[in-house]
Amino acid sequence: MTTPAAPNPYDSAYGRAVAGAPRGSEQAGLALAALILAAIAALGSLVGSLVVLAIMASSGASFGAAGAFGGATAILFGLVAVAALILGILAARGSRPVMAGIAIGIAAAHLLSALYGILAPLLSAVLYR
């Protein structure tokens, strides 16, 4: 009769970890990076909006320049928010899920706001002509 082998202490009830999966400390770094990128997207968008208002308030500025600057900042900080959302989703199962969740929420809210800001003028131009 053979004696059963002792269980491996590194095995869990959920199976082995994938070799390329990030460890907990790496995911904490992802959560922090996602939160920082989400904050940059939100604050940068606010500053961009204030700059657009300053351009429009200046005497010699054209509305085309303000619109171009506003569109460029919307695209730039929209891409930053997408990166924050992706990093937050990747970090959500790590050691800092609350931080990742906050980053996901900020990034998702920013993307919805940017989507509304892009679609509202287009829809109003089509619907009210």
- Check pLDDT > 90 for residue 129: no
Scan for tokens 């790496």, then name that residue. 26
pTM over 0.75: no
Q: Categorize the per-residue pLDDT at 128 as very low, low, confident or very high, splitting at 50, 70 and 90.
A: confident
Q: Which tens digits make up the pLDDT trace of 36-81?
A: 999 999 999 999 989 888 888 886 777 777 778 888 898 899 999 9
Structure tokens at 18: 């994938």
Q: What's the chain's Rg over C-alpha atoms? A: 23
- Check pLDDT > 70 for residue 92: yes
- Check pLDDT > 80 for residue 14: no
What are the distances in angstroms from CA 43 to CA 9, 40, 74?
47, 5, 12
Q: Flag the least confident range among 11-15, 25-29, 104-108.
A: 11-15
Query: What percentage of the chain exceeds 90 in pLDDT?
Result: 40
Q: Categorize the per-residue pLDDT at 21 as very low, low, confident or very high, splitting at 50, 70 and 90.
A: low
